[in-house]
Amino acid sequence: MLTLIANIKTLVQVRDEAISRVSGHQMKYLPQIENAYLILEGDRIHSYGPMSALPMLQINETIDASGRIVLPTWVDSHTHLVFAASREQEFVDRINGLSYAEIAAKGGGILNSAAKLATAPEELLYEQAVGRLEHLIQLGTGAIEIKSGYGLSTESELKMLRVIRRLKEDYPHIPIKSSFLAAHAFPMVYKENHQAYIDKIITEMLPLVAGEGLADYMDVFCEQGFFSVTETEQLLEAGLKHGLKPKIHANQLHRSGGVQVGVKYNAVSVDHLESMGEEEIEALRGSNTIPTLLPGAAFFLGMHYQPARMLIDADLPVCLASDFNPGTCPSGNMNTLLTIACTQLRMTPEEAVNAQTLNGAAAMELEQEMGSISVGKRASLIITRPVPSLAYLPYAFGENLIERVIV
Ligand code: NIG
Ligand code: FE
C-alpha cells in the first residue's frame, strides 16, 4: 500500500544518512527539498525527492500538498501528561506575588498534584490522559515521553505508570517512553527524614517498577529544596542497577549540580537548564547527554530563559521539549514552543525545528524511528496549511497552521 504526497511546497528535515543528532552551528542547517514528493509504504517512509524525479510506481492514494510544508512530527521528550487536576489557583497566587518555591514549601505544587492523584481512579486518569494525548497529536506531536512523579507513594506511582503503559499499548503508532520520577518531591511526612523516602523508592518502589517493566528511564528533580546531588546519585545508581538510564530535571531554579551529576551517570538528557554556567557547559561537552531546554516552563513562571545561544556556541546538541504539566507549563503545544524558542531563546526557526524533531528523538533514544524524513523511519508527518515559508510557522504565533497530521 503506497501513499503519495505530491507537489509539496517544501519537504523539511530530509536526512539521507543516519544522522542521530545535530549539534552547535550544524543546527542552523535544516535540509529541505522544494516542490517535492514523499511516498509512504504502510507506516514507513518509502522514498522522497523532487517532483521532477517522481518514480513510476503503483500508487494507492495521492494527497496533494500544493502550497504546503511537510515536516516530521514533533518529538516531545519531556512531559508530565498524566495528572489528576489543573492548578490555576497557584497561577493566580504567583501573579499575586508568591514564588514557585514558596508555593511548593507550603505543600502546594507537586504535593498538591500528588494529593489529587492519590484519590483519582486509574480509569479516570487514563481517560484524561487520552484526551490530552489526542489533542497533542492533532497539534503535531508524534512521540512523547511521560513521567510519573505525582504519585509519591508506591501505590500511586504504580498507578501512574500503569496508565502510561496502557497508553503505550493503545497508541502503538505514537512511540511513548516512560520515566519513573518518584524523586520529584519529598512527601510531607518525609520532610525531616529524606533518607527514609529515598530508601522507600530504592528498596520498595524500584523493584516493582522494574519487575513489571513499567519504566524506561529514572528521573530525579535535582534542585535546592528538592533532591540534593548526593541524594540524586544514590537514586541514579539504584536506577541503573535495575536497567533504568537517567533522564533528569536539572538546574531549573539554581545551579544545583544536576547537570554534572547527570553527565556523571551518563544521562540520556538533562532537562530544564535555566541556570547554567561554564562548569555545566564543560561537563556537557564531550558527553553523550543531551541538554534539553523547557522554555515553556520559564515562560509560564515568568523566569529567566535558558541560555540556548551559549549552548549552541559550545557545539552542543540542544533539544526543546514542552514539560507539559499542571504546575509550570499547562500546555503541550509544540507550535507555541517553536515561537518561544525563536523570540525568547533567540534560536532560528531552523535550529528550533532541529531541536524539537531530530534532537527530540535522540533525547528519547528514538533516532532510528523518528525526527527526520528518512527512508525506513516512521511515516509520522505534519502537513501544514498553505503557508509562505517555514519561518511563518513560529512567526504567526497562536495560529493553528497544521492542516493534517499523519501518524
Ligand atoms: O518540570 N520541576 C519539576 N517538575 C515539573 C513541575 C512539576 C509541578 O510543578 O507540578 C517541571 O517543571
Ligand atoms: Fe518536568
Instruction: List the CATH number of the domain containing 164.
Output: 3.20.20.140
Cα separation, 217 vs 292, in Å, equals 15
156 with 48, same domain: the answer is: no
Q: Are residues 141 and 35 located together in one domain of the fold? A: no
Would you give the DSSP letter of residue 14? B
Mean pLDDT, the chain, whole residue set? 97
Report the distance separating Cα 169 and Cα 149, nearest Å. 21
SS3 for 10? strand
The last residue of a domain, from among 344, 362, 380: 362
- The mean pLDDT of 263-274, rounded to a whole number, is 98
Name the grid cell of 66. 500544493
Give the pLDDT confidence of 142-176 residue by residue, as tens digits.
999 999 999 999 999 999 999 999 999 999 999 99
- Judgement on whether residues 144 and 281 belong to the same structural domain of the protein: yes
pLDDT in tens, 85-100: 999 999 999 999 999 8
Return d(Cα 281, Cα 316) in angstroms, integer: 9
| Residues flanking ligand 1, CB < 6 Å | 109-110, 113, 221, 249, 252, 297, 323, 325-328
CB 360 within 8 A of CB 332: no
3-state secondary structure at position 31: coil
Q: Please state the domain count of the chain.
A: 2
Q: Which of 14-28, 211-225, 228-242, 253-267 has the lowest mean pLDDT?
A: 14-28
Residues 110 and 227 in one domain: yes
Q: Which atom of ligand 1 is nearest to the CA of 323?
A: 1
Q: Is the pTM of this model over 0.95?
A: yes
Same domain, yes or no, for 68 and 80? no
User: For residue 29, what are the contacts with CB-CB under 8 A and spacing of at least 6?
Assistant: 22, 350
Mean pLDDT calculated for residue range 253-257: 95
The answer on 396 and 345 residing in a single domain is: no
Beta bridge partner(s), residue 179: 147, 217
C-alpha separations of 87 from 16, 113, 116, 122, 329 in Å? 45, 8, 10, 20, 10
Give the model's confidence band at 62: pLDDT under 50 very low, under 70 low, under 90 confident, else very high: very high
- Residue 105 in this model has a pLDDT that exceeds 90: no
105 and 177 inside one domain: yes
pLDDT average, residue stretch 122-137: 98
H or E segment to which residue 222 belongs: strand 217-222
Q: Tell whether 189 and 207 lie within a shared domain.
A: yes
Could you tell me the CATH number of the domain that includes residue 6?
A: 2.30.40.10
212 is in which domain, residue-wise? 74-362
Q: What is the pLDDT of residue 182?
A: 98
Residue 256 pLDDT: 94
How far apart (Å, rounded) are the C-alpha atoms in residues 215 and 325?
A: 19
Claim to verify: residue 210 and residue 83 sit in the same structural domain: yes
Determine the Cα–Cα distance for residues 180 and 201; give it in Å rounded to an integer.
10
Co-location of 241 and 345 in the same domain: yes
Give burial (CB, 10 Å; 0-12/13-18/19+) of 1.
Answer: exposed
Distance 111 CA to ligand 1 centre (A): 11
- 318 and 388 co-located in one domain: no
Is 80 exceeded by the pLDDT of residue 18?
no
Q: Which of 14-18, 108-112, 250-254, 331-335 has the lowest mean pLDDT?
A: 14-18
For residue 223, the model assigns a pLDDT of: 97
pLDDT band at 405 (very low <50, low <70, confident <90, very high): very high
pLDDT of residue 106 exceeding 90: no
Question: 390 pLDDT exceeds 80?
Answer: yes
DSSP H helical ranges for 153-294: 154-170, 194-199, 206-211, 229-241, 258-264, 278-284
Tell which atom from ligand 1 comes closest to the C-alpha of 325: 10
Residues with CB under 5 A from ligand 2 (ion): 323
pLDDT of residue 54: 98
Query: What is the pLDDT, as a whole number, of residue 72?
Result: 98
Q: Are residues 344 and 215 in the same domain?
A: yes
Rounded to the nearest whole angstrom, what is the distance from the C-alpha of residue 68 to the centroid of ligand 1?
A: 36
